[in-house]
Structures are given as C-alpha cells and as structure tokens.
C-alpha cells in the first residue's frame, strides 16, 4: 500500500526527530546526528535531498542564513504521532482503537499494570477538566 503524503518514511521520521530534539539546523548539523548506515555516515547530499523533500511536503520550513539553509520543523511531533496512530489503527485494526489496545495487551506491549496506570491518568485528566478524545477525535 503506497504512503500518503502525510506519512513519513523512516528516514524522514529520523530527521524530524533530530529537528524536534535538537532544534533548527542546517544539513551538516542534521547529518551529524543521523545514525550511520552499514557503518557509514549518510552522504551530505542525501540528507540535503531529504530535507528538501520534507520542505516540499510542508513538514519543515527553511531560511537562508549566511550561505546555508536552516531547517525548522513545521510539523509538530504530536501531529506526526497522531497521524501515524490513525494510519496504524485504520490499516491494521480496521479503524478499531479497541483492537489496537487488545493487540498491545496480547503481545505484552501493554501490561495490565500499565493499563491500570493509564486508566488512572485518564481519570485524573478528566477530573481536571482536560479534553480527552479518542483516536478519531471527538469520541470519549
């Protein structure tokens, strides 16, 4: 199944994580933080291309500073996570958030103890008046 423009490739996500964690940076700064591939650093031009793709997709903005572009995330980490979760729930669980939770429980990714702690956090958030919505938004 092809990716939608909203979805980030693994390398795009890795680059976005660098920008979210370290703040705006030029190609060289981003390249320094990228994990090596097969023991070799990623080529400068590859990083530059990926940042240009992210810019075209509207995920980052760039500003010319001296003679190099500095890239700043436009996409918020929370938005990226939300889109990834919605995509996962839709594609793998037929749109059912409950099936996702059951899958997490069945594969020991979410223990009953952690589920209980999450339920307590949810109750506390509701009691504090925080807006708590479901995967698709609006559902409580």
- pLDDT tens for residues 54-69? 999 999 999 999 999 9
> How many CA atoms does the CB half-sphere of 80 hold within 13 Å?
20
- What's the average model confidence in pLDDT over 106-133? 86
d(CA 99, CA 97): 5
Q: What percent of the chain has pLDDT over 70?
A: 88
Note the pLDDT of residue 7.
Answer: 83
* 2: confidence class by pLDDT, cuts 50, 70, 90: low
Please tell me the CATH code under which domain 1-95 is placed: 1.10.10.10
Buried-state track 21-58, b at ≥16 Cβ within 10 A, e below 16:
eeebbbbebbbeebeeeeeeebeeeebbebbeebeeee
Q: Over the stretch 11-30, which tens digit does the pLDDT of each residue have?
A: 999 999 999 999 999 999 99
Q: Which part of the chain is CATH 1.10.10.10?
A: 1-95
* 4: confidence class by pLDDT, cuts 50, 70, 90: low
Note the pLDDT of residue 138.
Answer: 38
Whether 133 has a pLDDT exceeding 60, the answer reads: no
């Amino acid at each position: 199944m092809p990716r939608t423009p909203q979805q980030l490739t693994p390398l795009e996500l890795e680059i976005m994580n660098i920008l979210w964690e370290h703040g705006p940076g030029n190609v060289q700064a981003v390249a320094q933080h990228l994990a090596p591939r097969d023991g070799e650093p990623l080529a400068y031009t590859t990083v530059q291309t990926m940042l240009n793709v992210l810019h075209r997709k509207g995920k980052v903005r760039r500003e010319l500073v001296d003679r190099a572009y500095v890239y700043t995330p436009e996409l918020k980490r929370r938005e990226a996570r939300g889109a990834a979760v919605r995509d996962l729930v839709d594609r793998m669980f037929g749109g059912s958030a409950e099936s996702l939770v059951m899958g997490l429980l069945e594969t020991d990714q979410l223990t009953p103890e952690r589920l209980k702690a999450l339920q307590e956090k949810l109750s506390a958030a509701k009691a504090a008046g925080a807006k708590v919505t479901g995967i698709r938004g609006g559902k409580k």
